[in-house]
Amino acid sequence: MAQEERMLITGGQRLEGTVRVSGGKNTSVAIIPATILSQTPCVIENLPDIEDVHVSVETLRHLGARVNWDPALGTMEVDASSICRTDVPLELCRRMRASSYYIGALLARFGQAQVPLPGGCDIGRRPIDQHIKGMRALGARVETAHGLVTATADGLTGGDVFMDMVTVGGTINVMLAAACAQGTTTIYNAAKEPHIVDLANFLNSMGCRVKGAGTDVIRVRGVQKLASRRPYAVIPDQIETGTLMIAAAATHGDVTICGCIPTHMEALTAKLLEMGAKVDERDDAIRVRSIGAHRAVTFKTQVYPGFPTDLQQPMSALLCTATGTSTVVENIFESRFRHLAEMERMGARVRIFEQTAVIEGVPQLHAAAVEATDLRAGAALVIAGLMAQGTTEISNTCFIDRGYEHLEKKLSSLGAVIWRAQE
Ligand code: EPZ
């Protein structure tokens, strides 16, 4: 990834005040392809102005859909009736992992899809064998050759899909394909993340019949003609909420995050409380305060409602200055510790044994020039920069822009000294 901009942070400022969380990245990249299924134009609201949404807009327009997207308002109108092709270009797939969702959506609406294998973050192999297994269970013919997935179907028929492991993307892709299939599809060992429920709610708002979303068995009764009847607002971003909570604790600040869903944050809240931070929950807001030293903790990433893998990296930054030795076990992806090498340049003391990182707390991190290696690694380096003495320079900010809407504006509004500089 070319190094376009750097983000600079002068650490040591307490974050204080109120900030509003944006709409969810991972729910947006699932609901936008789902608009392909609607016979009527769709209006989606609360979309974040982030790179992954821009790539989603480019993908829909490439397919021939008419898209009006107002990044400032967060509102998108999609008319899929003008879609005239079913191939997604490699250039777009390389920029976004969620491009695989167009397999399920295009198969459901048009009975065919040609989508290159997805790119995404360098956090692991990230195959899509379970996605393909699900499509085949619904009667599709799916071939993968030369990095391209080619899927065809003379009408999809509901079936049973037992996921070999819990996969968010696999669950989403099968839900999209099943939404217009003849009959009922049952997904066993389904993912339960909040954005699975959000997608189910959006599909049901178009007339589909999805039951059990949020549990490990999801039933989708396909409906031939889905039609959006009213605007749909995506849920707030669970991972941005968590990142802001961690930033508040990291700077011993006092921050209220508005527009979030506290029940989505329970695993992180429990860990922050264990570390000695104070967390107060309201209906749609969370207040995080932290005064004294933080206690070291142990956590293991799990599927929802366990500790989210996407918060492992920001949380490991916070643990670098906790009192004592913390243990982090990454159970979801095979190489999601690359940020730790960058944080060692800032004085962190870390030892890695396969999927386990042992972090020995140090009194203070110091600023350094560091490089974001993926989206949440970038977030971890922002947290480290907020804590460090001096001015940290983070390169490859394009990764951060994939998933955080105006992160430096939000942090500046809370008192952080953070800005961007062109190369
Ligand atoms: C989604 O990725 C998210 N991305 C990830 O967020 C998130 O970390 C992940 O879910 C887990 O919550 C989007 O929603 C766009 P998985 P996904 O399929 O769908 C293996 C971020 O930072 N697997 O649940 O790719 C896979 O290799 C991003 O916002 C298979 O083996 O995750 C992984 O080890 C990063 N075969 C595990 O399952 C498959 O067919 C979980 O992957 C599918 C997955």
Token pair of 261, please?
């869903």
d(CA 343, CA 320): 9
**C-alpha 117 – ligand 1 centre gap (Å):** 14
CB atoms within 10 A of CB 294: 22
**C-alpha 165 – ligand 1 centre gap (Å):** 11
User: Which atom of ligand 1 lies closest to the CA of 195?
Assistant: 14
Task: Look at residue 315 and give its three-state secondary structure.
Answer: helix
- Closest protein CA for atom 41 of ligand 1: 167
Q: Please give the pLDDT value at position 119.
A: 60
- Closest protein CA for atom 44 of ligand 1: 167
Give the chain's residues under pLDDT 70. Answer: 1-3, 119-121, 423
Q: Each residue of 96-126: b (16+ CB within 10 Å) or e?
A: bbbbbbbbbbbbbbbbbbbbbbbbbbebeeb
Q: 80, 110 in Cβ contact below 8 A?
A: no
What residues does ligand 1 touch, defined as CB less than 6 Å away? 25-26, 29, 97-98, 121, 124-131, 165, 167-170, 239, 309-310, 332-333, 375-376, 403
**C-alpha 167 – ligand 1 centre gap (Å):** 6
Q: Please give the pLDDT value at position 97.
A: 82
- Closest protein CA for atom 21 of ligand 1: 310
d(CA 321, CA 12): 13
Among 130, 132, 332, 339, which is best to mutate for testing ligand 1, by the most ligand atoms less than 8 A from CB?
A: 332
Strands 278-281 and 232-233 come out as: unpaired
Q: Please give the pLDDT value at position 1.
A: 45
Token pair of 60, please?
């829909």
Q: Please give the pLDDT value at position 4.
A: 74
**C-alpha 40 – ligand 1 centre gap (Å):** 31
Q: Please give the pLDDT value at position 215.
A: 98
Handedness of CA 40, 98, 211, 242 (dihedral sign): negative
Paired with 185 in beta bridges are 220
d(CA 378, CA 369): 13
Q: 322, 275 in Cβ contact below 8 A?
A: yes
Task: Look at residue 25 and give its three-state secondary structure.
Answer: helix
d(CA 43, CA 166): 30
Among 29, 130, 165, which is best to mutate for testing ligand 1, by the most ligand atoms less than 8 A from CB?
A: 165
Task: Look at residue 38 and give its three-state secondary structure.
Answer: strand
Taking the CA of residue 116 as centre, how many other CA atoms within 13 Å lie in the half-sphere pointing to its CB?
16
Among 55, 117, 126, which is best to mutate for testing ligand 1, by the most ligand atoms less than 8 A from CB?
A: 126
CB atoms within 10 A of CB 327: 15
Positions marked active-site: 121
User: Which atom of ligand 1 lies closest to the CA of 121?
Assistant: 35
HEC profile of 56-125:
HHHHHHHHCCEEEEECCCCEEEEEHHHCCCCECCHHHHHHCHHHHHHHHHHHHHHCEEEEECCCCCCCCC
